[in-house]
Structure 1
Amino acid sequence: MASSALKEQQRDLENKANDLSKLQKDIAKNHQVRKKYTIQLGENELVLKELDLLQEDANVYKLIGPVLVKQDLAEANANVRKRIEYISAELKRLDAALQDLEEKQTSKKDAIYKLQQRIQSLQAGKAKA
């Protein structure tokens, strides 16, 4: 009886460990995506600063595929601001997702710890018997 309960607990522990591993992979993926967006945000803010330095009649070109296309300064400014707004929103979303994942990770670790304690107590009880 005790050995079947022990095997059940060990199976449960293995499942929880696999879940924790998946969570850790999701957290790592979140960090990678967040890093990419942070770099893009910095680049776009730099472009915006450069656009702000230009005079109203300055020529602005946008690279579309292999071709440079002339673009209105106001339109370029609006596009970059919109892009910055989008990237900032994505970063906020990623931060919220990361916080949720980290909370799940903490609760999984706690559950694993408690399960390990139970397994140890079952093994100790079995060793005494």
Structure 2
Amino acid sequence: MDQHMMTRVQEAYQAEYKTFQAFNAPIQNLQANKARLLAQIQETADVQSELALVDESDGAVYKMFGPVLVKQDLDEAKGNTAKRMAFMQGQLASIDKELNTKRDEQNKSKQKVQQIQELFTNAQNELRARAAAQASSAQ
């Protein structure tokens, strides 16, 4: 492998490494969104648990609208909470799917980087061996 080819391999390595690194920011954003959503899911699960404890005959449920607490029907509150939970579970599934896709793409890019590194290392070793052979034959 000549010097020109070595330069091309190095350029390919740099380009693929940039591609690999470009996945870091979106993956971190997705992880942050997932953590935030998991916290909201936990809060909603806590609300569902609390609503399950409320006695329909005397328990009052209030919902905050801005600075005002408004009385809400218990069944309506349970229904709204269940809908919110289902919606957030759907969002979580979507984020997980996108996160897995990004990680798979990043792993493929990482494998390409490793292959190019191996090719580059082998080419360097080949050039060193040629140089050593030429040096020993010149003596």
TM over 0.5: yes
Identify the residue that residue 67 of structure 2 maps to in structure 1.
66
Q: Give the letter aligned to residue 121 of structure 1.
A: N
Identify the residue that residue 12 of structure 2 maps to in structure 1.
12
The runs of 5 or more residues in structure 1 that have no matched partner are: none
Identify the residue that residue 126 of structure 1 maps to in structure 2.
127
Task: Report how many aligned residue pairs link the two structures.
Answer: 129
What TM-score, normalized to structure 1?
0.89
Instruction: For residue 120 of structure 1, report the CA deviation from its aligned partner.
Output: 1.5
Secondary structure at 1:55 match in 2: coil
Instruction: For residue 42 of structure 1, report the CA deviation from its aligned partner.
Output: 0.8
Residue range with higher mean Cα deviation, 40-49 or 11-20: 11-20
The runs of 5 or more residues in structure 2 that have no matched partner are: 132-139
| Divergent runs of 4+, >6 A | none
Secondary structure at 2:55 match in 1: coil
Instruction: For residue 29 of structure 1, report the CA deviation from its aligned partner.
Output: 1.7
What TM-score, normalized to structure 2?
0.83
Secondary structure at 1:63 match in 2: strand
Q: CA RMSD in A?
A: 1.7
Identify the residue that residue 89 of structure 2 maps to in structure 1.
88
Greater radius of gyration (CA): 2
Residue identity (%): 27
**Structure 2 residue 98 is the aligned partner of structure 1 residue 97:** yes
Residue range with higher mean Cα deviation, 107-116 or 4-13: 4-13
